[in-house]
Structure 1
Amino acid sequence: MPETRASAVIPADATAVWRLIRDFNGLPAWQPGVTHSALRDGDAPDRVGGVRTLTLLRGEKISESLVALDDHTRSLTYDIVESPYPVQSYRSTLRVIPLTSTGESVVEWTLTFDCAPAVAEELTGAFRDGVFAPGLRGLTAYFS
């Protein structure tokens, strides 16, 4: 199963960063590749099992389900329900870690998924460099 990760130091304390990230419907505020997010009717932005539909810059739609939300460990895990990507079993986690020496935070974004072996390397790079890295830069800019 392919996996990838990205991380960044964010210039804000873990409480502030977690407050922003834990809003499952708030991705457009800091992820530059997402123009809109809508929760399924009746869902709340912190309800495990909730589904959001994201609209990307080129108009693609991705539906994701909130699998876990843990305020103690400051982690959020979601699965892709439907997307244009040729992946299965897509599971991603965002985690906020206090950087106690400076009062900043480290955000780690991890992913495991399944796909055809011929596209595994390409997709791994695309998610890491085309989704996670710009998102972490956007998160840094949000707090700068």
Structure 2
Amino acid sequence: MAQAYWSSVFTSSADQTWAVVRQFNGLPDWHPALRASEIVGGGNGLTPGAVRLLTGTDGSTYQERLVGLDDAERKLSYEIVEAPLPVRGYRSTLHVQAVADTGGAFLSWHATFEPAEGTTAQEAATVLEAAYAPAIAGLHTIIA
């Protein structure tokens, strides 16, 4: 199984950061490549099983299912149902942790997947990480 990973440290507290990250339907608020998100099934967006339909600024669409939302651990996990990405079996977790010495937050975004046929694991990871980086940069702009 291949992996992709991105992380960042925030000056905002873990609770403040988590309050934004936990909003499964809120990704377009901080991901510059997304213009819309709609819950299209399975619950209200805070219930495992909820399915969101993301629309990119380029018109591409992504269907993702919320697998887990753990407020105590500050973890949100989801899987791709359908997307124009070079991966299969994609499952990802965003995890917000407190930074003890600064009172800030550490956010990690970790995914496991199988590369699609004709794509190497490194090529697929590069595509995913190229999406994570601007998303996390966008998150920095909406929480201080």
Q: 1:33-48, aligned counterparts within 5 Å?
A: 33-41=33-41, 43-48=43-48
Q: Aligned partner of 2:126: which letter?
A: G
Task: Out of 25-34 and 59-68, give the one that drifted further.
Answer: 25-34
Q: For structure 2, which runs of at least 5 residues remain unmatched after alignment?
A: none
Aligned to 2:134: 134
Structure-1 residue corresponding to 2:113 = 113
**In structure 2, do the counterparts of structure 1 residues 133 and 81 end up closer, same or farther at CA, with 3 Å as the change threshold?**
same
Paired residues of 1:98 and 1:106 also in contact (CA < 8 A): yes
| Deviation beyond 6 Å, 4+ runs, structure 1 | none
Report the AA paired with residue 132 of structure 1: Y
> 2:61 matched to 1:61?
yes
5+ residue gaps in structure 1?
Answer: none
Q: Is residue 10–residue 139 contact of structure 1 (8 Å, CA) maintained in 2?
A: no
How far off its partner does 1:139 sit? 0.9
- Quote how far apart the aligned CAs of 1:85 are: 1.7
Identity %: 38
TM superposition score normalised by structure 1: 0.94
Show CA shifts across 1:115-135 (max 9, x none). 24641221111111x211111
Q: In structure 1, how many angstroms separate the alpha carbons of the residues matched to 2:116 and 2:29?
A: 33
* Other structure's SS at 1:26 match: helix
- How does 1:64-143 map onto structure 2 within 5 Å? 64-116=64-116, 118-119=118-119, 120-128=121-129, 130-143=130-143
Please report the RMSD computed on the Cα atoms of aligned residues, expressed in angstroms: 1.3
CA distance in 2, matches of 1:11, 1:76: 20
TM-score (norm 2): 0.94
- The CA distance in 2 between the partners of 1:41 and 1:126, in whole Å, is 27
Alignment match, 2:4: 4
For 1:63-86, what per-residue CA distance to the aligned partner results, in whole angstroms no more than 9, with x for missing partners?
Answer: 000001111110000000011123
C-alpha separation between the residues in 1 aligned to 2:51 and 2:81?
8
Aligned to 1:22: 22
Aligned length: 143
